[in-house]
């Protein structure tokens, strides 16, 4: 979604801001802009489209100032246009504001500001903030920001400058992330860590209701009532190369190929002397012993990881488990109590619905465990305990390595609870851990084959494109699976639709006869996950039924499967042999690659698909 950057120091702010905004391009945006103060004059440039359009516009007239703010916008209120792009200014062009989030009472505020004579030029909710600050300004920008935000309902992270207070940026946040980057003789403000990594690794994570004022040599934080607040800096352990493509054509492909290493690293970090250890977990063992049920809450890909988590937890930790999408959980009346462990899964740790679900669960007295990738994110901080996936920065909008990392953590959480509750014997746990480690090594083997050998998925994608055109663009995908791979059917379909815009649905194969089979004719390509499992024969029956109705079939089987040859399917993909419970880690790899190559064939923007944002920080 939107990205915020701010710089104050001795460098040219324009260059720093454009670089910082480029590091946040992956978040998804439709316009960009900067405001820089030069010799007590405010210069604002903003353009609809990619950052390059803005950079080209600025090229002949480099702004020289050393204090500035920048923004990449993902439209919510008002179409993508130059006028609606941020920064937004007050009536006299003295104040500039960039904003992430949504001001829910902006219409009301706008009417009253208009009555007071303020002139608006955009359709955005953000512009009211600039005018409110103007209304309250009497020589101290921090003070004016504090007064203005008291009137805002909704969510915001903002950065503000005033031309008469050169060398100063004010930031504030409520339910939308904002960090301060600490440099030497320079400081930064940003919504996202990659924005500042070229300059510093030292950051302060701001909390809700914090108001920060930065100059090149100082950082002062107060709360909304003006009380001084102290926040400890943290050091970011990623380096910028982790946020670069390193020779891959797309971040998505790079991240797919990182998955084996990510899971092996999780195992190395968390399994010590054959036992699962979570150092940072603040939830007591006694809580895991006393809980009566588990509810997993998440969105999108993280939700699919949660669905797999349910199979694994129920199989070995023997605790009843439900899974909910965050947007549903937060608004219904979920039966969760102090005996419920709520697990919130989120790569970014900032997804608005998941954060709201977390708060709802806490309000109801549940113990809340977060599984997050981004260190210091809101969900990680507000949960009772957190387990980080440590997958490194995930830049592609389509989540891949975060998913397998979340799956890996679910296996470990299950082993951990199973030990505490004694639902699996010590020797049984050892065997499970052994198989899990084997699976991680096999992920790397499989990825190695795809990397170096003939890539059949790319060839299938080419075939699909031809078929799609032959069928006058009516072809689409269905994904079928059973048991622990059913969530992978959903995930495979989500990956394909989000980057190739081709219709794709996932179903539990047993549901086919209850409706979806009506769709089968010669148009759909059906991906069947039929790896070695207790439901293998049932999958073969599904395959027969689809074949009999003309569907084109790609079947994922376990290496050495001889049976599938008798079923006359169109394409077969093999994965190495592993216990069914762990197979999702392997099965998802060809599903991700298929989605990737289909999107590549169609020539789409794989890392930044249309309409999508990396982290959905508004409802």
Which residues are marked as active site? 2, 614
Instruction: Pull the structure tokens for residue 433.
Output: 């851990």
Distance, in Å, from the CA atom of 180 to the CA atom of 454, rounded to the nearest integer, reads: 46
Q: Is residue 346 part of the contact set for ligand M6R (CB under 6 A)?
A: yes
How many positions of this chain bind ligand M6R (CB under 6 A)? Answer: 17
- 313 burial type by CB count under 10 A (0-12 exposed, 13-18 middle, 19+ buried): buried
Q: Pick the closer one to ligand M6R by CB: 354 or 535.
A: 354
Instruction: Establish if 601 lies at the interface with ligand M6R (CB under 6 A).
Output: no
- The answer for residues whose C-beta is within 8 angstroms of residue 399's C-beta and 6 or more apart is 300, 301, 302, 347
Q: Does 301 bind ligand M6R (CB under 6 A)?
A: yes
- The yes or no reply on residue 347 touching ligand M6R (CB under 6 A) is yes
Q: Which of 22, 126, 191, 351 binds ligand M6R (CB under 6 A)?
A: 351
Instruction: Please identify, using beta-carbon distances, which residue of 362 and 532 lies nearer to ligand M6R.
Output: 362
Q: How far is CA 200 from CA 9, 71, 203, in A?
A: 13, 19, 8
Residue 87's contacts (CB-CB under 8 Å, 6 or more residues apart) are 33, 34, 35, 44, 46, 69, 70, 71, 96, 97, 98
Q: How far is the CB of 552 from ligand M6R (least distance, A)?
A: 25
Kindly state the tokens that stand for 591. 């599903």
Beta bridge partner(s), residue 116:
none
| Phi, psi at 474, each rounded to 5° | -95, -5
The CB-nearest residue to ligand M6R is: 300
Q: Judged by CB under 6 A, which stretch of 11-19, 104-112, 565-573, 610-618 contacts ligand M6R?
A: 610-618
Give whichever of 149 and 493 is closer to ligand M6R, judged by the CB atom.
493
Residue 370 C-beta: closest distance to ligand M6R, Å:
10
Q: Binding of ligand M6R at residue 354 (CB under 6 A)? A: yes
Q: How far is the CB of 251 from ligand M6R (least distance, A)?
A: 12
Q: In angstroms, rounded to a whole number, what is the distance separating the alpha carbons of residues 413 and 511? A: 30
Q: Angle CA(345)–CA(349)–CA(352) in degrees, nearest 5?
A: 95
Contact between 35 and 44 (Cβ < 8 Å): yes
- State in angstroms the smallest separation of the CB of 616 from ligand M6R: 5
Residue from 299, 319, 440, 564 binding ligand M6R (CB under 6 A): 299
Q: Where are the beta strands (DSSP E) in 456-598?
A: 477-481, 504-508, 525-529, 552-558, 571-575
In the complex with ligand M6R, the residue whose CB is nearer, 191 or 348, is 348
Q: In angstroms, rounded to a whole number, what is the distance separating the alpha carbons of residues 540 and 557?
A: 11
Choices 101-109, 300-308, 330-338, 454-462; region in contact with ligand M6R by CB under 6 A:
300-308
Closest distance between ligand M6R and the C-beta of residue 48, in Å?
A: 23
Q: What is the closest distance, in whole angstroms, from the C-beta atom of residue 271 to ligand M6R in the complex?
A: 24
Determine if the peptide bond prior to 319 is cis (ω within 30°).
no
Strand, coil or helix: 414: helix
CB nearer ligand M6R, residue 67 or residue 592? 592
Q: Which is nearer to ligand M6R, 58 or 395 (CB)?
A: 395
371 forms bridges with which residues in the sheet?
345, 387
Contact call for residue 300 and ligand M6R (CB under 6 A): yes
Q: Least Å distance between CB 298 and ligand M6R? A: 6
Q: Does position 380 bind ligand M6R by CB under 6 A? A: no
Q: Does residue 613 contact residue 397 with C-beta atoms inside 8 Å?
A: yes
Which of 348, 542, 583, 592 touches ligand M6R (CB under 6 A)? Answer: 348
Question: Which residue(s) pair with 276 in the sheet?
Answer: 271
Residue span binding ligand M6R (CB under 6 A) among the ranges 293-301, 382-390, 435-443, 553-561? 293-301
Query: Is-contact 529 539, C-beta < 8 A?
Result: yes
Residue with Cβ nearer ligand M6R (346 or 583)? 346
Q: Are 17 and 68 in contact (CB under 8 A)?
A: yes
524-538 residues labelled b (16+ CB within 10 A) or e (exposed): bbbbbbbbbbebbee
The interface region with ligand M6R, picked from 178-186, 504-512, 543-551, 608-616 by CB under 6 A, is 608-616
Asked if residue 321 lies in contact with residue 310, where contact means CB atoms within 8 angstroms, the answer is: yes
Q: How far is the CB of 345 from ligand M6R (least distance, A)?
A: 7
Q: What is the number of helices (H) and of strands (E) in the chain?
A: 18, 27
HEC per residue, 343-364: EEEECCCCCHHHHHHHHHHHHC
CA atoms of 138 and 136, how far apart (whole Å)? 6
Under the criterion CB under 6 A, does residue 308 sit at the interface with ligand M6R?
Answer: no
Q: Closer to ligand M6R at the Cβ: 255 or 574?
A: 255
Pairing verdict, β 525-529 and 552-558: parallel
Does 302 engage in binding with ligand M6R (CB under 6 A)?
Answer: yes
Residue 82 has what DSSP assignment? T
Residues 462, 464, 469, 474: what is their CA dihedral angle, to the nearest 10 degrees?
-160
Cβ distance to ligand M6R smaller for residue 354 or 475: 354
- Per-position x/- string for 466-505, each x denoting binding to ligand M6R as judged by CB under 6 A, each - no binding: ----------------------------x---x-------
173-232 positions binding ligand M6R, by CB under 6 A: none
Stretch of residues binding ligand M6R (CB under 6 A), selected from 35-43, 95-103, 146-154, 348-356: 348-356
* Residue of 511, 573, 497, 585 lying closest to 542 (CA atoms): 511
Rounded to whole angstroms, how far apart are CA atoms 251 and 394? 8
CA–CA separation, 461 and 466 (whole Å)? 9
Given its phi and psi angles, is residue 184 left (phi above 0), alpha (psi -120 to 50 degrees) or beta? beta
Min dist CB 362 to ligand M6R, Å, is 17
Nearer CB in complex with ligand M6R: 553/618: 618
Q: Which of residues 395-434 bind ligand M6R (CB under 6 A)?
A: 397-399
Q: Which is nearer to ligand M6R, 355 or 446 (CB)?
A: 355
- Return the range that interacts with ligand M6R (CB under 6 A); candidates 22-30, 242-250, 347-355, 430-438: 347-355
Beta carbon of residue 500, minimum distance to ligand M6R (angstroms, whole number)? 13
Residues lying near ligand M6R in the complex (CB under 6 A) are found at 299-302, 346-348, 351, 354, 397-399, 494, 498, 612, 615-616
């Amino acid at each position: 979604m939107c990205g915020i950057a701010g710089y104050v120091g001795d460098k040219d702010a324009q260059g720093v801001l454009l670089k910082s905004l480029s590091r946040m391009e992956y978040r998804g945006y439709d316009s960009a802009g900067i405001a820089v103060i030069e010799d007590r004059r405010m210069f604002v440039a903003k353009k609809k489209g990619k950052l390059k359009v803005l950079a080209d516009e600025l090229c002949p007239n480099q702004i020289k100032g050393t204090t500035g703010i920048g923004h990449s916008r993902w439209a919510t209120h008002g179409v993508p246009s130059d006028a609606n792009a941020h920064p937004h200014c007050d009536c006299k062009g003295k104040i500039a504001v960039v904003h992430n989030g949504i001001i829910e009472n902006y219409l009301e505020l706008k009417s009253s500001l208009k009555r007071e004579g303020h002139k608006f030029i955009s359709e955005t909710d953000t512009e009211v903030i600039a005018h409110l600050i103007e209304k309250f300004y009497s020589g101290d920008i921090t003070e004016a920001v504090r007064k203005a935000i008291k009137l805002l309902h909704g969510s915001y992270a903002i950065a503000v400058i005033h031309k008469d207070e050169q060398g100063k940026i004010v930031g504030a946040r409520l339910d939308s992330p904002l960090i301060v980057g600490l440099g030497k003789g320079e400081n930064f403000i940003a919504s996202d860590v990659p924005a500042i990594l070229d300059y510093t690794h030292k950051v302060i994570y701001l909390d809700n209701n914090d108001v920060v004022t930065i100059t090149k040599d100082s950082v002062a934080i107060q709360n909304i009532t003006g009380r001084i607040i102290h926040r400890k800096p943290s050091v970011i352990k990623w380096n910028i190369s982790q946020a670069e493509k390193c020779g891959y054509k797309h971040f998505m492909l790079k991240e797919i190929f990182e998955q084996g290493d990510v899971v092996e690293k999780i195992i190395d970090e968390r399994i010590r002397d054959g036992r699962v250890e979570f150092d940072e977990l603040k939830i007591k063992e006694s809580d895991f012993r006393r809980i009566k049920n588990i509810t997993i809450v998440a969105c999108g890909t993280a939700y699919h990881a949660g669905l797999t988590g349910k199979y694994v937890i129920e199989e070995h930790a023997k605790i009843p488990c439900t899974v909910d999408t965050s947007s549903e959980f937060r608004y219904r009346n979920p039966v969760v109590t102090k005996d419920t462990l709520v697990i919130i899964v989120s790569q970014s740790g900032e997804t608005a619905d998941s954060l709201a679900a977390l708060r709802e669960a806490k309000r109801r007295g549940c113990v809340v465990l977060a599984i997050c990738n981004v260190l210091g994110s809101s969900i990680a901080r507000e949960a009772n305990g957190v387990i980080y996936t440590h997958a490194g920065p995930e830049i592609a909008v389509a989540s891949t390595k975060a998913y397998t990392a979340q799956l890996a953590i679910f296996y470990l959480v299950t082993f951990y609870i199973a030990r505490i509750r004694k639902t699996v014997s010590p020797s049984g746990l050892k065997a499970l851990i052994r198989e899990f480690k084997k699976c991680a090594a096999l992920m790397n083997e499989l990825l190695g084959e795809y990397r170096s050998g003939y890539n059949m998925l790319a060839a299938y994608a080419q075939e699909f494109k031809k078929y799609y055109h032959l069928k006058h663009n009516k072809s689409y995908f269905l994904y079928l699976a059973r048991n622990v791979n059913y969530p992978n059917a959903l995930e495979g379909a989500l990956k394909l639709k989000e980057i190739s815009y081709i219709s794709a649905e996932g179903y539990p194969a047993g549901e086919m006869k209850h409706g979806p089979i009506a769709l089968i004719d010669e148009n759909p390509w059906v991906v069947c996950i039929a790896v070695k499992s207790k439901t293998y024969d049932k999958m073969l029956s599904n395959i027969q039924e689809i074949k009999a109705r003309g569907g084109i079939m790609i079947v994922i089987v376990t290496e050495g499967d001889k049976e599938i040859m008798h079923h006359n399917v169109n394409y077969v993909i093999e994965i190495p042999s592993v216990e069914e419970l762990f197979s999702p880690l392997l099965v998802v790899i060809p599903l991700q690659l298929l989605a990737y190559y289909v999107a590549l064939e169609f020539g789409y923007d794989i890392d930044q698909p249309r309409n999508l944002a990396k982290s959905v920080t508004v409802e």
